[in-house]
């Protein structure tokens, strides 16, 4: 099988390897948005470990055959964090890394928000917040009717959870004890124009999901070992119903002058900021 | 179904879906607690394992159907037109139309007939909303017979498609000689003095108008336009050139629906005098269907008087 579906805990060596990929992805994100002069930097940097864990360790996929019917599915419900998504897909071999230079350009296969028709590896078009979890549920229904056995992973933003449709979907999946559905919340605490707490707080978030019939796991969303272990555990638990992983993250993670700042939600670094950011990411080698 | 028999298109839709479900195992149906009204409950009775009850959550339903279609199924989503085309418009747009997924959308209770439910449930803007969505095909059958045919054609068609049905009984005007094709206009009455272009349940009313006008010596051409998008532009241009004046009539707002679409074609390719019959820019109200149609000038009599007025001028 071409995927890398491994349930075992990561060795120290594997952790180092994944950390290196994360660093590389962060640099790709910075370069992609800086080249394009636009893009969602903060939420891309916060999702790196989650995406690297999924695509390099957890998901059963074949980058050479993106439409393989038995593959695990992934929906980036927080579609604006496309630079992070595209960087991981390119890194994983879905398309040539050089394509990232065309991000957001006219005629590019890499649109501002993910387009399943244009980009290999994208399982669902997203961009208008709140729709991805419903689409993921539909994939589960189709899977079950086809007698297939894949898992469906849906990554949501925290601000996105303010959308009512998320809770319509959560209620459906919880009520039907839908199996093989793993939601992940990139809980970076910052949305477009401010913090989540000052905009419309989500707490008690775990209790909300539990009340909707979901099992809830929490993890440090930047500890790659913990991220992989937690999502693997969620995958196993999802046999009996939907599971959500609340991953505590930092918006703009890895670049100190971006961390925790809503101003970097949708801002591209200038040339000098790009240089500083790349230097800082490089200097983080342990 | 016999010519002249009164049958509700929604009932024909419900029956056709059951028949389709028997032939096509890939058909699945999504409902948001209105199946006994839209008539998808008939499908539930026949194929409960392919019927998904999502509760009163139209947005979730639409995006769920999108997700399921990625596995190759042919989902039919059915709810009141007013909710499908507006409340879930963004889900239709982003999750279905943009990726061009193979989902069929049934807007039931199109237009005024809603069982006296009033303005909140009367969908007079759904054609306009759906028509301007890229990748969307919009079908509005004239009677129960054509509705049945449209269900089959829609299922064969690959891509997003909006099929509008109505709640009230409508006289049957078509028989087995009629072959519904997506994108084709049908001339139901020949004439050269004026053209009436109608869609949906207004076509039986327009047919009566054309026959009445004939008695008065007026030769009105009647074009039935069951596909609003893509529109049969050739038929419109020809009508403009050959009859010089056109009346449109629809169970929908005058803005953006059939009348709007015809006006776009005419102004660009063959300008002529045009009068649009349909709902003015206001909300509907409760009351008998025919009383409402009469109040807002959307019926056989209005076509006749407008046609006579245009011909005299």
Report yes or no: B47 at the A interface, CB cutoff 8 Å: no
Share of chain A above pLDDT 90, in %: 96
Domain boundaries, chain B: 6-171, 186-312
Q: With the CA atoms of B219, B224, B230 and B233 taken in that order, what torsion angle do they form, in degrees rounded to the nearest 10? A: -10
Chain segment A2-46, per-residue pLDDT in tens: 445 555 689 999 999 999 999 999 999 999 999 999 999 999 999
Measured between alpha carbons, how far is A231 from A221 in angstroms, rounded to an integer? 10
Percent of chain A with pLDDT over 70: 97
Chain B positions in Cβ-Cβ contact with residue A174 (cut-off 8 Å): none
Q: Quick one: closest CA in A to B64, which residue?
A: A138
Active site residue B26: no
Chain B residue with minimum CA distance to A136: B67
Q: Which residues of chain B have pLDDT under 70?
A: 313
Asked if residue A160 has pLDDT above 50, the reply is yes
Nearest to B63 among A69, A138, A142 (CB): A138
Pick the CATH number of B186-312 from 3.90.1410.10, 3.40.50.920, 3.90.1530.30, 3.40.50.720: 3.40.50.920
Q: What is the mean pLDDT of residues A180-204?
A: 98
By the CB < 8 Å criterion, does B247 face chain A? no
Contact at CB, B59 and A164, closer than 8 angstroms: yes
Same topology for domains B6-171 and B186-312, yes or no? yes
What's the angle, vertex CA B175, arms to CA B171 and CA B180, rounded to 5? 100
Cβ-contact B249, B205 below 8 angstroms: yes
**Positive or negative: CA dihedral A16, A18, A19, A24:** positive
The region that residue A110 occupies, defined by phi over 0 for left and psi between -120 and 50 for alpha, beta otherwise, is: beta
Contacts of A127 in chain B (CB under 8 A): 94
Cross-chain Cβ contact B64/A171 below 8 Å: no
The answer to whether the Cβ–Cβ distance between A138 and B68 falls below 8 Å is yes
Q: Are B73 and A144 in contact (CB under 8 A)?
A: no
- What is the longest distance spanned by two Cα atoms in chain B? 61
Quick one: pLDDT at residue B156? 98
Q: B6-171 is classed in which CATH architecture?
A: 3-Layer(aba) Sandwich (3.40)
Summarised one tens digit per residue, pLDDT across range A225-246 is 999 999 999 999 999 999 999 9
Q: Which tokens sit at A70?
A: 């038995």
Which of B59, B67, B75 is the closest to A168 by Cβ?
A: B59
Burial class (CB in 10 A: 0-12, 13-18, 19+), B48: exposed
Cβ–Cβ gap B65/A137 under 8 Å:
no
pLDDT of A120 above 80: yes
Q: Pick A168's closest partner by Cβ from B57, B67, B72.
A: B57
Domain limits, chain A: 12-283
- Looking at residue B294, its pLDDT comes to 97
Measured between beta carbons, which residues in chain A are less than 8 angstroms from residue B66?
Answer: 124, 134-135, 138
Question: Which among A146, A147, A140, A109 has a CA at the least distance from the CA of A125?
Answer: A109
For residue A189, cis peptide bond before it (omega within 30 degrees of 0): no
pLDDT score of A9: 85
Check residue A285 and give its pLDDT. 74
Q: At residue B279, what are phi and psi to the nearest 5 degrees?
A: -80, 135
pLDDT value for A286:
60
Q: Give residues with Cβ within 8 angstroms of B23, minimum separation 6.
A: none
Q: Is A194 left (phi over 0), alpha (psi -120 to 50) or beta?
A: left
User: How many Cβ atoms are within 10 Å of B262's Cβ, its own excluded?
Assistant: 27
| Across A202-214, average pLDDT | 98
Q: Give me the interface pTM, i.e. the ipTM.
A: 0.97
CATH of domain A12-283: 3.40.50.970
pLDDT in tens, B86-98: 999 999 999 999 9
pLDDT digits (tens, 9 = 90+) for A61-79: 999 999 999 999 999 999 9
A134 chain-B contacts, CB cut-off 8 A: 59-64, 66-67, 91, 95
Whether A187 and A220 have beta carbons less than 8 Å apart is answered as no
When pLDDT is cut at 50, 70 and 90, the band that residue A1 belongs to is very low
pLDDT band, very low/low/confident/very high, at A284 (cuts 50, 70, 90) = confident
* Residue of A115, A132, A143 lying closest to B71 (CB–CB): A143
Q: Is B73 part of the contact surface with chain A (CB cutoff 8 Å)? A: yes
Half-sphere exposure of B99 (CA within 13 A, CB side): 28
Question: Peptide bond before B230: cis, by omega within 30 degrees of 0?
Answer: yes
- The 10s digit of each residue's pLDDT in B231-260 is 999 999 999 999 999 999 999 999 999 999
Selected catalytic residue, list B5, B19, B26, B58: B58
pLDDT at A2: 46
Q: Do B99 and A141 touch (CB under 8 A)?
A: no
Residue corresponding to tokens 């990726």: B99
State how far the Cα of B199 lies from the Cα of B248, in Å rounded to an integer: 8
Nearest to A113 by CA among A38, A11, A4, A18: A38
Which of A136, A141, A165 minimises the CB distance to B59? Answer: A165
Strand partners, B253: B279
Cβ separation of A115 and B90 shorter than 8 Å? Answer: no
Residues in chain B with CB shorter than 8 Å from the CB of A130 are 59
């Amino acid at each position: 099988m071409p995927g890398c579906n491994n349930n075992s805990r990561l060795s120290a060596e594997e952790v180092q390897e994944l950390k290196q990929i994360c660093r590389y992805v962060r640099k790709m994100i910075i370069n992609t948005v800086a080249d394009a002069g636009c893009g969602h930097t903060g939420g891309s940097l916060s999702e790196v470990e989650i995406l690297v864990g999924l695509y390099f360790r957890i998901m059963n996929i074949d980058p050479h055959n993106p439409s393989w019917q038995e593959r695990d599915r992934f929906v980036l419900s927080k579609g604006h964090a496309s630079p992070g998504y595209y960087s991981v897909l390119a890194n994983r071999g879905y398309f040539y890394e050089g394509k990232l230079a065309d991000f957001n350009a006219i005629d590019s296969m890499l649109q501002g928000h993910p387009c399943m028709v244009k980009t290999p590896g994208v399982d669902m078009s997203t961009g208008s917040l709140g729709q991805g979890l419903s689409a993921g549920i539909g994939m589960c229904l189709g899977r079950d009717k086809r007698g297939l056995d894949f898992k469906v992973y849906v990554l949501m933003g925290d601000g996105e959870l303010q959308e009512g449709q998320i809770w319509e979907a959560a209620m459906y999946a919880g009520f039907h004890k839908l199996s093989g559905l793993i939601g992940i919340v990139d809980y970076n605490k910052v949305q477009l124009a401010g913090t989540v707490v000052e905009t419309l707080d989500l707490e008690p978030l775990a209790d909300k999901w539990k009340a909707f019939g979901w099992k809830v796991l929490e993890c440090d969303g930047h500890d790659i070992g913990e991220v992989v272990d937690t999502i693997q555990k969620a995958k196993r638990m999802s046999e009996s119903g939907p599971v959500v992983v609340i991953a505590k993250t930092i918006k703009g993670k890895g670049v100190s002058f971006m961390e925790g700042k809503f101003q970097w939600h949708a801002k591209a670094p200038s040339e000098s900021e790009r240089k500083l950011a790349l230097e800082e990411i490089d200097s983080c080698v342990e | 179904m016999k010519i002249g028999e009164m049958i509700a298109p929604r009932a024909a839709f419900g029956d056709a879906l059951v028949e389709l479900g028997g032939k096509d195992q890939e058909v699945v149906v999504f409902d948001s607690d209105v199946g006994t009204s839209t008539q998808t409950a008939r499908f539930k009775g026949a194929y409960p394992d392919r019927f998904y009850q999502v509760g009163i959550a139209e947005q979730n339903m639409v995006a769920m159907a999108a997700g399921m279609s990625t596995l190759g199924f042919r989902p039919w989503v059915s709810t009141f037109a007013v909710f499908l085309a507006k409340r879930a418009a963004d889900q239709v747009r982003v999750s279905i139309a943009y990726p061009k997924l193979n989902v069929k959308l049934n807007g039931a209770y199109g237009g005024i007939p809603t069982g006296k439910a009033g303005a909140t449930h009367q969908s007079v803007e759904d054609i306009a909303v759906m028509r301007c969505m890229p990748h969307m095909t919009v079908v509005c059958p004239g009677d129960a017979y054509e509705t049945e045919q449209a269900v089959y054609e829609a299922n064969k068609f690959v891509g997003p498609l909006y099929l509008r049905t109505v709640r009230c009984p409508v006289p049957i005007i078509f028989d087995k000689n009629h072959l519904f094709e997506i994108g084709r206009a049908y001339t139901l009455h020949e004439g050269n003095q004026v053209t009436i272009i109608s869609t949906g349940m207004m076509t039986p009313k327009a047919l009566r108008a054309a026959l009445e006008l004939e008695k008065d010596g007026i030769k009105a051409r009647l074009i039935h336009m069951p596909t609003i998008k893509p529109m049969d532009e050739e038929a419109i241009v020809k009508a403009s050139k050959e009859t010089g004046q056109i009346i449109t009539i629809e169970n929908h707002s005058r803005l953006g629906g059939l009348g709007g679409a015809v006006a776009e074609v005419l102004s660009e390719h063959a300008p002529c005098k045009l009068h649009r019959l349909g709902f003015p820019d206001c909300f509907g109200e409760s009351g008998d269907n025919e009383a409402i149609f009469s109040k807002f000038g959307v019926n056989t009599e209005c076509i006749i008087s407008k046609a006579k007025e245009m011909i005299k001028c």
